[in-house]
């Protein structure tokens, strides 16, 4: 909970820190061994679910907004599969989303290890590929709307 307080003097940050504290305790005392034995894709989905829910707490202006957003993530109170706002963001950020999804898996690393470019492994191109991803991510952020520094809310 102290990490939540460090992020801001508002209750949603305290709830965010408490949420992660609770998740860590549940993992440590109840489901940790089962998670260790589960397949890697399932562990990735689990982590993403935990992180997505946490951002609803972190970004919300109030508890009711946070719980409303979490409910809509799971289809509670939503009007259909995806609203116009979700479709707008999906359309606007499709390329960085796809790059992020692919980059979060070991697919590219395995592909690079198997590839061969005139007797040299393609991994020599890693700095170039990472630079390209950095440029795309930076361009995507610059293209976005006004986004004030989060710690100004403290």
* Confidence tier at 43 by pLDDT (50, 70, 90): very high
Please check whether residue 14 is in contact with residue 5, taking contact to mean a CB–CB distance below 8 angstroms.
yes
- Cα(93)–Cα(23) distance, integer angstroms: 30
pLDDT at residue number 102: 80
Please check whether residue 73 is in contact with residue 118, taking contact to mean a CB–CB distance below 8 angstroms.
no
- Cα(89)–Cα(78) distance, integer angstroms: 16
pLDDT of 150 strictly over 80? no
pLDDT at residue number 151: 55
Range 31-41 average pLDDT: 94
Among 3-7, 37-41, 98-102, where is mean pLDDT lowest? 3-7
Tell me which of 38 and 148 has the higher pLDDT. 38
pLDDT of 130 strictly over 90? no
Q: Which of 135, 152, 143, 28 is nearest to 92 (CA)?
A: 143
Among 3-17, 27-41, 63-77, top mean pLDDT goes to: 27-41
pLDDT at residue number 36: 95
* Half-sphere exposure (Cβ direction) of 34: Cα atoms closer than 13 Å: 7
Q: DSSP letters of 22-43? A: HHHHHIIIIIHHHHHHS-HHHH
pLDDT at residue number 110: 76
Please check whether residue 7 is in contact with residue 13, taking contact to mean a CB–CB distance below 8 angstroms.
yes
Q: Is 119 helix (H, G, I), strand (E, B) or coil?
A: coil
What pLDDT, in 10s, does the model give residues 57-114? 888 888 899 998 888 888 787 676 667 777 887 888 888 788 878 877 788 777 777 7
Model pTM greater than 0.75?
Answer: no
| Location of structure tokens 């198997």 | 114
Among 12-26, 57-71, 85-99, 126-140, top mean pLDDT goes to: 12-26
Q: Which of 49, 140, 55 is nearest to 98 (CA)?
A: 140
- The full set of domain ranges for the chain reads 1-78, 82-148
């Amino acid at each position: 909970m102290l990490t939540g307080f460090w992020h801001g003097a508002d209750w949603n940050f305290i709830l965010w820190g408490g949420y992660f504290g609770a998740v860590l305790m549940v993992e440590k005392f109840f489901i940790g061994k089962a998670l260790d034995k589960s397949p890697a894709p399932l562990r990735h989905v689990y982590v993403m679910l935990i992180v997505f829910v946490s951002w609803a707490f972190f970004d919300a202006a109030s508890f009711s907004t946070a719980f409303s957003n979490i409910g809509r993530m799971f289809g509670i109170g939503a009007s259909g599969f995806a609203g116009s706002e979700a479709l707008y963001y999906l359309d606007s950020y499709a390329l960085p989303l796809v790059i992020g999804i692919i980059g979060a898996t070991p697919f590219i690393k395995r592909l690079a290890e198997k590839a061969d470019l005139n007797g040299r492994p393609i991994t020599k191109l890693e700095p170039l590929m990472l630079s390209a991803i950095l440029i795309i991510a930076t361009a995507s952020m610059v293209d976005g709307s006004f986004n004030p520094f989060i710690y100004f809310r403290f």
